[in-house]
Structures are given as C-alpha cells and as structure tokens.
Amino acid sequence: PRPRVWVSQPLYADLEARLDEWFEVARTPRVTDHAPGAIAAALADADGALVTLNDRIGETEVAGASRLRAVANVGVGYDNLDVAALAARGIVATNTPGVLTETTADFGFALMMAAARRITEAEHWLRDGRWQGWGFHELLGAEIHGSTLGILGMGRIGQGIARRARGFGMRVLYHNRHRLPEAVEEACAATWTTRAALLADSDHLVLVLPYTADNHHIIDAGALAAMKPTATLTNIARGGLVDEGALAEALQSGRLAAAGLDVFEGEPAVDPRLLACRNVVLTPHVASASLPTRRAMVALAVDNLVAAMGFGPDAGHPPSPVTRIP
C-alpha cells in the first residue's frame, strides 16, 4: 500500500496534487483550528504530514504516531514543532526558508515605516473626522532616512531588511549570536554590535530572530527601558519574543514612540492593552502573505515531504530539495 500523508489545512490544490503521485492523501476540507486530540488522531495512521504554523506538534501528538517519518512545515519559523520530540522518534522535520525572504523583508520594512510615520494612526484620525484643515502640529512622526536601524536576528530576512535600508540612507546595526562573515556584512552595509548597544543606539529596532525557549521575552521591560524614548519597535518574528504587557506600558507612558506588530504571543488573540494603544500598528501575521510567496512555500513544503519520505527524483540520496530543520 502507498504511504499515507495528512494535509492539515487546505493549501493549493494544484500544488498539493503532486502528493497524489506518491501517497494516499488525507485532506482537511476547511481551514481548521484542530481541536485537542485531533492532530494526534490524524497522525496516528500517517506516514507523513504537511502542516502549518497553526498546528502544534509535540510529544502528545506524535506519541501514537508509530509510522510517522516526516513532518513538512509550511513556514520558515517552526516553534509550532517540538523538534526534539520529533528527532527522538527519527521523524524528519522540514521548513520553508529562502522562498519568503524578500516578501517578508518588504513587509518588515513597511511595518517599520508605518509605525515610524504613524500611517494607520493618521488614517484613523482622518476617518474619525478629526481633520479640520492642515494639522500642522498633528501626527509628527520619526525620521526614517538618516536614522539608525537595528536588526535583532540577522538571518536571511534580517539581511533583506538591511539591504532595503541602504536605499533610505539608514545606518544599519545588527546583533546576532554569531557575527556574519565580513563579505556579508559589507554586502548589506551592516555593523555588528552588542545587544545592549543595539537597544541603546537604534532609532528603529526590528525583530527577525527565531523564537526559542532562550529568547522568550527578550524584549522585556528592561530592554524597553534601554531603548530611546523616540524609538520604534517592529516585530515580524514571533509574539513570544516580546513582553506585551511591558510594551503596552511603554507605548502608553511615552517611554517608546511607536511599535509595529505582525505577531502576538497568544495569536489570534491580541492583548487588549495593545489594542488600547494608538501608537501601535497591528497586523494579523501577514508578513509572508503574497500569492506567489504562499505558493512557493507550499511548493517547497510539498517537495520537502516527497523527498523526506524517500520519493521523487532524488529518492535514495540525501534529497537535495529537503530543507531539514537542524
């Protein structure tokens, strides 16, 4: 019998069709927030799975999945997977780096600019009927050109944002555990600095680092207090990086000028303290949301799953398209 794979969400039928060449495919007809136990039940007789960031897969979900060999995540971040629990059972896990880099960098830059120049706040002001003649003193924002951009987490997306910043004449600082090779630093005109200096010197700080147990609330009250009161904070990585209560407090008290948030700790729930702040731009985790990019993510995840299960043109070799999670 052919191996069985489970597709946790409806994606793109034409791209998913490639799975039918090799597998019995169990599909999910509607976008689904799987109830507790439902993922475990779906994985119980699956040899492989194509999942998204909505699907948490840990020890509980794989405990009864004796045949499961591969989990392909549609997404570059994979904090929804307990990678150690999967690895302990020899289950290969893959993600989709590379294909969403530029689209996500575009959005990160846009969100930073929207926060700095108060674009959504200005629109609300206009829609609320508060525009009574040119508001000379209203809605003054922070400069972008000539300012200092700080990037925390300098992977592919961080480097994409740094390249964009050049066009705006920004100075770019970054912090990463590992300093980039000099040639890469030169290509994106970015300078490594300590985390403390990054917090203190950035006019606009953008978070683009993977979320792990080690960097939970890396931006907490102390970090926010170390930033300039005129600075902005943009998060397109994962909500758990930021202490949202401390951020709301800093935004309300004027301790921080503005923020742009695409990700939230309890998403899709958004902390009411943030909803109450005027000076934060809030978007529903859409940084990679363009049709070509979402299609490229699915295509890569499908290739990953096929290859990780030992099929496709690369069967038998370390299959080249597999972007395995280390």
Residue numbers of the site for ligand GLV (CB under 6 A)? 53, 75-77, 97, 100-101, 155-158, 208, 288
Q: 232 vs 235, which CB is nearer to ligand GLV?
A: 235
Find the shortest distance in angstroms from Cβ 209 to ligand GLV: 8
- Region for residue 153 given its phi and psi (left: phi exceeds 0; alpha: psi -120 to 50; beta: otherwise): left
Distance between CA atoms of residues 311 and 23, nearest Å? 10
Q: Is 291 exposed, middle or buried (0-12, 13-18, 19+ CB in 10 A)?
A: exposed
| Shortest distance in whole angstroms from residue 288 CB to ligand GLV | 5
CB of 71 to ligand GLV, least distance (A): 15
Give whichever of 250 and 323 is closer to ligand GLV, judged by the CB atom: 323
Query: Nearest residue by C-beta to ligand GLV?
Result: 155
Shortest spacing between CB 103 and ligand GLV, in angstroms: 10
> By C-beta, is 48 or 108 nearer to ligand GLV?
108
Lookup: tokens for 228: 């300039």
What is the C-alpha separation between 76 and 97, in angstroms, rounded? 5
Q: What sign does the dihedral 224-227-229-235 (CA atoms) show?
A: negative
Closer residue to ligand GLV (CB): 54 or 60: 54
> What CA–CA distance (Å, rounded) separates 264 from 326?
25
Minimum distance, C-beta of residue 53 to ligand GLV, in the bound complex (Å): 6
CB 4 within 8 A of CB 46: yes
The dihedral formed by the CA atoms of 175, 262, 127 and 275, expressed in degrees to the nearest 10: -100
Catalytic residues: 238, 267, 285
Shortest distance, position 283 Cβ to ligand GLV, whole Å: 12
Contact 229, 249 (CB under 8 A): no
Within 13 Å of residue 295, how many CA atoms lie on the same side as its CB?
Answer: 7
Checking 27-32 for CB contacts under 8 A at 24+ apart, the result is: 32/8
Task: Judge whether 43 and 61 are in contact, CB under 8 Å.
Answer: yes
* The token pair that represents 26 in the structure block: 């169990």
Please identify, using beta-carbon distances, which residue of 107 and 311 lies nearer to ligand GLV: 107
Tokens 């830059």, residue located: 109
User: Is 74 or 274 the residue whose CB approaches ligand GLV more closely?
Assistant: 74
